[in-house]
Amino acid sequence: MPTESATLVDDAPMTPAALNEMVARDFEDYSACHVTEATTTHLTMEADGTRLRTRPGGTISGPDQAALVDLAAFLLINARLGRPTPMALTSSLQISYLSRPRPGRLRTHAKMAKFGKSLCVVLAELRDSAGTLAATATVTYSVPPAAHRSDPRSEDDTTGGTAE
């Protein structure tokens, strides 16, 4: 049985189109989300906030904000790996809510902080349609064990450190 690993498959990441297909296929609850940019180190995702849950007073709910940054982190890790990796699992999500985003276009920008053999750390920002910073988050993902091959690209090239 093959194992998934935190090893970049190709030099190219999954494309935004491939990531959007994965969202449509595997994450029906997130049909309001659309990846607009994806590289091996950054991802930008937009969401139609009018299709998300709101709290009294008309602001996007905290759980939906957390779900957006979590999804962006997951998609960035998949983009970096170059293939869908459904067993990459959230192990930690720390979020700070800074302002109250109203329904409208929301933009999540995710940046790879660490890409290790078993753990990946992503920094994310959520902004409202006016560009106001609504939330920041640090998301840690546990990635399935490495396959029986070595790849020097599995070293963390964003901070100069080595992979775990």
Q: Answer whether 116's CB lies under 8 Å from 156's CB.
A: yes
DSSP 54: B
Average pLDDT on 81-91 reads 91
Average pLDDT on 35-43 reads 96
Count the neighbouring beta carbons within 10 Å of the beta carbon of residue 44.
17
- Confidence band for 53, pLDDT divided at 50, 70 and 90: very high
Note whether residue 10 is domain-resident. no
Residue 47 belongs to domain spanning: 16-154
Note whether residue 4 is domain-resident. no
- What DSSP string runs through 24-88? HHH-GGGTTEEEEEE-SSEEEEEEEGGGS-B-TTSPBPHHHHHHHHHHHHHHHHHHHHTS--TT-
- Confidence band for 19, pLDDT divided at 50, 70 and 90: very high
Token pair in block for residue 12 = 């190219």
HSE-up of residue 50 (Cα within 13 Å, Cβ side): 3
Identity of residue 22: M
Give the range among 64-73, 97-106, 144-153 with minimum mean pLDDT.
144-153
Note whether residue 164 is domain-resident. no
More confidently predicted of 7 and 44: 44
- Which stretches of the chain are assigned E, i.e. beta strand? 33-38, 42-48, 89-97, 105-115, 119-127, 133-142
Q: Does pLDDT of 7 surpass 90?
A: no
Give the range among 61-70, 114-123, 149-158 with minimum mean pLDDT.
149-158
Q: Which residues of 76-92 are buried (b: 16+ CB within 10 A; e: fewer)?
A: bbbbbbbebbeebeeee
More confidently predicted of 163 and 78: 78
pLDDT digits over 107-152, tens only? 999 999 999 989 999 999 999 999 999 999 999 999 987 522 233 4
Token pair in block for residue 30 = 């997130």
Residue 82's domain is classified under what CATH number? Answer: 3.10.129.10
Instruction: Look at residue 146 in the predicted model and tell me its pLDDT.
Output: 52
**pTM of the predicted protein model:** 0.83
**Number of separate domains in the chain:** 1
Instruction: Look at residue 83 in the predicted model and tell me its pLDDT.
Output: 87
Note whether residue 123 is domain-resident. yes
Q: Answer whether 108's CB lies under 8 Å from 134's CB.
A: no
